[in-house]
Amino acid sequence: MSRSLAAGLALSLALSSATALPAYADSDEAFFQRVSGTWSGPGEIVAGKFKGTKFVCNFEGAEHARNVGVALDGSCRVGLFSQAMRAEVVRSGRSYRGAFQDGAAGKGLDIVSGDVRGDKIVVGLDRKQLKGAMVARLDGDDALAITISVKVQSQLVPVIGMNLKREGATRQSALSN
């Protein structure tokens, strides 16, 4: 599995809790509370060298213990091979910052921007020459569709798609780091 795929998959859920937040953060917190929990489901690489590769991911997402945001741990499996996944997204001013795996300084991706609107979050991704975006959209409380796109010339091209379902009805909060 390519480093971009591994890092991009980790991004898949990332996102919340703090004090004295501006009014716009209330809806962000509600979104992150809804994203917290155990998720699993299939995905596919839809463009590039590994186009057609199917995988299955399992994630445990929890509201960030100290900031508005989320921490996500889990793994994705392609055939017999499994890759650990870790992502963290936290509020930074009016936007979001974070990392997948160990960030762009290592083998992962940096989250360089973000915006929550209703049932959807859009975050900007960066790793050296690679620029992109991830969109995660909740469909009710138990379905999460994720699309990861990369910038090719001046256009965003979808490269990874995932459809996750919530496992069980219990949501977890305040993941300790």
Q: Measured between alpha carbons, how far is 106 from 100 in angstroms, rounded to an integer?
A: 10
Residue predicted with more confidence, 165 or 3: 165
pLDDT in tens, 120-176: 999 999 999 899 999 999 999 899 999 999 999 989 999 999 999 998 744 443 343
pLDDT of residue 5: 43
Q: What contacts 49, CB < 8 A, 6 or more positions away? A: 2
pLDDT of residue 58: 96
pLDDT of residue 24: 44
What are the extents of the domains in the chain? Answer: 3-166
Specify whether domain 3-166 bears CATH 1.10.10.60: no
Q: What contacts 74, CB < 8 A, 6 or more positions away? A: 39, 57, 58, 59, 60, 84, 85
Task: Give 21's DSSP letter.
Answer: -
pLDDT in tens, 63-104: 877 788 888 899 999 999 999 999 999 999 889 999 989 999
